[in-house]
Amino acid sequence: MDITERARLIRSGDRRALARAITLVESARPDHRDEALALLSALREPRREALRIGLSGTPGVGKSTFIEAFGLMLTGQGLKVAVLAVDPSSARSGGSILGDKTRMERLSRDPDAFIRPSPSQSQLGGVARRTREAVALCEAAGFDVVLIETVGVGQSETVVAQLSDLFLLLLAPAGGDELQGVKRGIMEMADLILVNKADGDLKPAALRTVADYAGALQLLRHRPQDPPGFPKAMPVSALESAGLAKAWEEMQALTAWRKAQGQWDRARADQARHWFEEEVRQGLLAALAREPQKGLMAGLGDRVACGDLAPEAAAAEMLRLLGRT
């Protein structure tokens, strides 16, 4: 099937065509890469934009329960929802996103939802690039909301933040008054902190945790461009679908504000630039791993190792040689 026909099918909402296209962008084969680039460029115009929501939280905090309940609420409002995961399946405690059959079972049966199992490559940079392209495919396929999930291993939040319009941090009620060791950098990325499991016996602890984080967010005051009150901390119960409508209202309010202020377009433009530069960086690294660059590196490396050349001089020489090739 030619590219134009595949692009047409994806745009028409054909799920198998979409799934196949995601498999294509995940492939490492050079001929697949060429096809993927052709398909992505065929899908660029006319532009369709989804609301891309990044969601991070440690294993067990309730991400799949939340995504299922939240996703069903959105499809219930007539929206089309796609769910993607950034982390390689090896980095997840519970296996792949659909490895466990009960994960998001109801949402996966919903005709207005599309759930993509997590990619299996081990290198985060590579996975992020594929996820970004999968997001673009979902946008072209007409999804209104794309949820991008990460378990928060190391730098993956930063990657998800670069893929998202909104970033949610899901937390569990804390036992004491500690802030669960959440890194400041991650808190700074969050637009909404959702303290999950605010139900039953856990509710009082959840409400205390919300208050603690609300205080911490006030102190951070890191984004003067955001509307008053943001970033926010609020309680939810994914299990009881409580607080989800309120959380969605906040997301929509923040989105509307950012659009009106021109921040939305600026953020998307910055992200496009980031991913362009990242692709170039990855391409340069890949080129270094190929001959003749690999041989040049090895040769200069040997000379550095035996003391013949200083590391910085060898690096300068390597870069000079690269400039020529």
The answer to the question of residue 235 lying near ligand GDP (CB under 6 A) is: no
**Which of 239, 297, 304, 315 forms a contact with ligand GDP (CB under 6 A)?**
239
The answer to the question of residue 173 lying near ligand GDP (CB under 6 A) is: no
Give Cβ neighbours of residue 25 (< 8 Å, ≥ 6 apart): 36, 40, 130, 133, 134, 137
Measure the CA–CA gap between 279 and 87, rounded to whole angstroms.
Answer: 19
The answer to the question of residue 63 lying near ligand GDP (CB under 6 A) is: yes
Quickly tell me which residue has 């090895």 as its tokens. 298
Segment holding 171, helix H or strand E: strand 166-171
**Which of 129, 132, 197, 258 forms a contact with ligand GDP (CB under 6 A)?**
197
Stretch that binds ligand GDP, among 48-56, 60-68, 217-225, 274-282 (CB under 6 A): 60-68
Nearest residue (CB) to ligand GDP, 74 versus 314: 74
The answer to the question of residue 238 lying near ligand GDP (CB under 6 A) is: yes
Residue number, nearest CB to ligand GDP: 62
Residue span 77-116 as binding mask against ligand GDP, x where in contact by CB under 6 A, dash where not:
-----------------x----------------------
**Which of 56, 65, 118, 209 forms a contact with ligand GDP (CB under 6 A)?**
65
DSSP per residue, 1-68: --HHHHHHHHHTT-HHHHHHHHHHHH---HHHHHHHHHHHHHTSSS---PEEEEEE--TTSSHHHHHH
Cβ atoms 73, 248 nearer than 8 A:
yes
Nearest residue (CB) to ligand GDP, 63 versus 129: 63
For the segment 40-59, give every residue that binds ligand GDP (CB under 6 A): 57, 59
Measure the CA–CA gap between 222 and 38, rounded to whole angstroms.
Answer: 40
Measure the CA–CA gap between 101 and 214, rounded to whole angstroms.
Answer: 36
Measure the CA–CA gap between 205 and 35, rounded to whole angstroms.
Answer: 52
3-state secondary structure of 240: coil
Stretch that binds ligand GDP, among 71-79, 195-203, 216-224, 304-312 (CB under 6 A): 195-203
Binding residues for ligand GDP, rule: CB under 6 A, are 57, 59-65, 94, 196-197, 199-200, 202, 237-239
